Structure 1
Amino acid sequence: MSGNIQVDAVVEARTDLGESPVWDERTQRLYFIDINSQKIHIWDNKNKSHDAIDMPELVGTIILAPDEDQLVVALTRTIVLLDLKSRKVVGEPLFTVPEEHGVDKMRFNDGKAAPGGALIIGRMHADWRKGSPGRLYMIDLRTKQWDEILSPEEVGLPNGMAWDEKKQCMYFVDTYHSTISEFRTDEQGVPVKGESGKYERREVVKVPKEDGIPDGMTIDRMMNLWVALAEGGVVASYNPMSGKQLGKVKLPVNKPTACTFGGAVLEQLFVTTRVESGENAPEHWGALLSVKNPGISGAAGAYVAAL
C-alpha cells in the first residue's frame, strides 16, 4: 500500500449515522444517507455541490435505478422508488416485508443490487448488540419474488457486500460476528443453494475485536476487499483468498461506517461516518471522506436494480 495516501473531507454533512455510499458513474454523483436523520445526501462530483432530500422514515439503504433520475430506497419495512427531480416517492411500494417478518425494532439495513439486478438486502434489529438477530433477503423487484438467504438463526447484523463476477461469488459482512463470508453465486450474482438445500457460504475473514467492527464494504480491481471498521477509525483492506489484512488507512474520525469507490476512474474511496460527541470529538465527524491511494481503484461502479 502506497505511503502517499491522501484523505480529505469532501462534505461536512454532519450525519448522525451516515451510511450506504453509492457512486453513479452515469451522472458522476455520490449518494449517501443519514439513517437517523431520515435524509438522502447527494454529492455532485463534477460541480462540487451538495444537496439533501428529506424522507418520511428511517432510510436503511439506497440502490441505483435504471433511470438516473430515480433511486430505489429501502425504508423501515418497504422499498420505494424516489424521483430525484420532484424529490418525492412515486407509485406504490416496490416491496413490503411480510407481516410475520416486520417485527418491532426491525428495519432494512445495507443492501445492493447484484450484477444481474436482483436486490440483496439485510434487515437488522435495533438490539443487535444484545444478540437480537437479523435476516438477509434476495428480492426480484420485477416479479416480487423473494427468498430468505439467511434466517435469524444464521445471521446477527447483516451488512456490507461486494461481488467478484469472474469468480462468481459474493462477499458478505456479519457485523455482530465480525466475519466476512463468501457465497457461491450464479451468473447473475445471486447466491445459490447447495446440496443441503441451504445457501452455501464459508468464512473468509475474521476481524479481531480490537481492530474494530466490520461494517460497509467494497472491492477493488485486484479483488481485494475494503471494509470500514467502525469504532476502529480506519478502512482496512483484506485478501479474501488468504483472509489476511493487507493494510489500513487511518482516518480523521473514529467511527467510519461504509465505503465505495467513485470518481472519474474509480480512483477515490468515499467513506461515510457518524456522529461523535464529547470534548475530544474529531473535527470531521459525520463528514463524507475521500481516500486517494495511488495505484488502487475500484473494480466497477455500483450495479443497477432491475425494475
Structure 2
Amino acid sequence: MAPNIKIVHNEKLVLGEGPYWDHVAQVLYYVNVLESTIFKYEPSTEKFTQVIVDKDKKSSVSFVIPVEGIKDKFVIGYGNKLALLTWNGISTYPTNLEILISLNEATDTVFNDGKVDARGRLWTGTVFPGVITGSQERRGELYSMNSQEKCVTSHATGIGISNGLAWSTDHKIFYYIDSLNNTVDAFDYNINSGELSNRRIAFDFVKNNLKGFPDGMTIDVENKLWVAAFNGSAVHQVDPETGSLLQSVKFPTSQITSATWGGPNLDELYVTSASHSETGQNFYAGRLFKVTGLGTSGLPGFTVKL
C-alpha cells in the first residue's frame, strides 16, 4: 500500500517543529518556533488550540514535552532558557511560566530540538541564530538536563545546528543530528548514567545522494530511523545499522522539519514543515501533515521527570 499524505492543519506556520504525541491523552503538541506559539491537536474532535508563550514573540519556543505525572505542565525550550509552562490546553496565554535553567548570555545560542530518554532525562541542543541567515559558526552544544540541580551537562561542543534525537528500542544507542554535518550520528548510550561514548556516523546524506540536510527524526519499532529532510521535500526511512536508505516519503513542499508517530496504534506519522524561506507562494509550505500506510509504527514518547 502506498503512503497516504493528508494536510491536518491548514495554518501556514513560519517554522513548524517539535511534534510530540501524548499517547495517554491521544493529542499532538507541536510548535511554531519563531512565533513563540504551541499548538495542541485532538484528532478525535479535530480541534486545535494554541498558546502564545511570549506575546511579544521575542523568545522562540523550540519544543514542548509534558511533565511526568503533573497535569497541564510542560518543559519547553524558550530562547536560551529551559522553562516550565503551565497551560490548560485551552487558553491563549499560559497560566504561568517558570524559568528552570538559563544559559550564559555570552553563549549567544538558543535551544533547538529536545527529546526525553526512558528515565525521564531531557536532552536538547543549541544553535547560533546566525546560522539561519548563512553563518557557519559552530557555537552550539548538546546538553542533558539535571532537573534536581537545576543545571545542564554539556556532552558535545562545536555543534552547527543541534537537531534530531532518538534512542534505539533497547535504549543502548542514541542517535543525533547536527544538521551542518549532513549525517545522523550514533553513540553508545548508558541509560543509567546518561553518558555517551563511541560516536560514529550511522547515515550520511551526501553518500546517499539526498537533497537538503537532516533535521528532526523519530524511530520505529524495528529500529529504523525516519529523518526529515529540510530543503529536501521528504522524510527518509533509513537503516542506521547498514547506513542504507530504505524508502522516501515525498512532500509537496521543501522545508520538512520533523516527524513523530501518533494515533491509537502509533502507526500514523505526523510531519511538520516550515515556510520562512520558501520561494513563491507554495500552498503546502508550513503545514502539518499526517502520513498513513507506512507499514510500521513507533513507540510512545517519554515525559520529563522533574
> Given the two structures, how large is their TM-score scaled by the length of structure 2?
0.90
Corresponding position: 1:182 with 2:186:
yes
Deviations 1:99-140 (A, max 9, x none): 443x2xx21101111111111110101222421111111111
Structure 1 stretch displaced more, 254-263 or 128-137: 128-137
C-alpha deviations, 1:63-111, integer Å up to 9, x for none?
A: 221124221111112111111226426363111113443x2xx211011
Query: Contact 1:39–1:54 (CA<8 Å) still a contact in 2?
Result: yes
Shift in CA distance, 294/125, structure 1 to aligned 2, threshold 3 Å: closer
User: AA paired with 2:84?
Assistant: L
- SS, match of residue 50 in structure 1: strand
- The 5-angstrom pairing of residues 43-192 of structure 1 reads 43-56=41-54, 57-66=59-68, 67-85=70-88, 87-88=93-94, 90=96, 92-101=98-107, 103=108, 106-128=109-131, 129-133=134-138, 134-152=140-158, 155-166=159-170, 168-188=172-192, 190-192=194-196
SS at match of 1:259: strand
Q: Is the 8 A contact 1:236 1:249 kept in 2?
A: yes
Secondary structure class of the residue paired with 1:176: helix
Provide the C-alpha distance between the structure 1 equivalents of 2:168 and 2:305, rounded to a whole number of angstroms. 19
Offset of 1:187 from its aligned partner? 2.5
2:191 maps to amino acid: E
Aligned to 1:254: 254
Count of residues paired in the alignment: 292
Whole-Å separation in 2 of the counterparts to 1:183 and 1:295: 27
* Aligned 8 A contact 1:115 1:188 in 2: no
- Structure 1 pair 188–28 and aligned structure 2 pair: CA distance change class (3 A): farther
Whether contact under 8 Å (1:22, 1:302) holds in the other structure is: yes
User: What is the SS of the residue equivalent to 1:80?
Assistant: strand
Q: CA deviation at 1:210?
A: 4.4
CA contact (8 A) 2:166 2:218 kept: yes
Q: Deviations over 1:34-88 (max 9, x none)?
A: 1111110111122111111111121122222112422111111211111122642
Give the aligned partner of residue 4 of structure 2.
6
Cα-Cα RMSD: 1.8
Name the CA distance, whole Å, in 1 between partners of 2:193 and 2:39: 28
**Greater share of strand residues, 1 or 2?**
2
Kept after mapping to 2: 8 A contact 1:163/1:189: no
SS in 1 for 2:34: coil
Aligned residue for 2:35, secondary structure, equals coil
Conservation of the 8 A alpha-carbon contact between 1:10 and 1:289: yes
Partner of 1:296: 296
Q: Identify the residue that residue 284 of structure 1 maps to in structure 2.
A: 284
**Aligned residue type for 1:157:** I
Cα distance in structure 1, aligned partners of 2:242 and 2:39: 36
Identity within the alignment, %: 27
Is the CA contact (8 Å cut-off) linking 1:191 and 1:200 kept in structure 2?
A: no
Under a length normalisation based on structure 1, what TM-score does the superposition of the two structures give?
A: 0.90
The 3 A distance-change label for structure 1 pair 168 and 277 is closer
Query: Which residue identity lines up with residue 12 of structure 1 in the other structure?
Result: N
Q: Specify every segment of 5 or more residues in structure 2 that has no aligned partner in the other structure, as ranges.
A: none
Q: Within 5 A, what are the aligned runs for 1:200-279?
A: 200-208=198-206, 210-275=210-275, 277-279=278-280
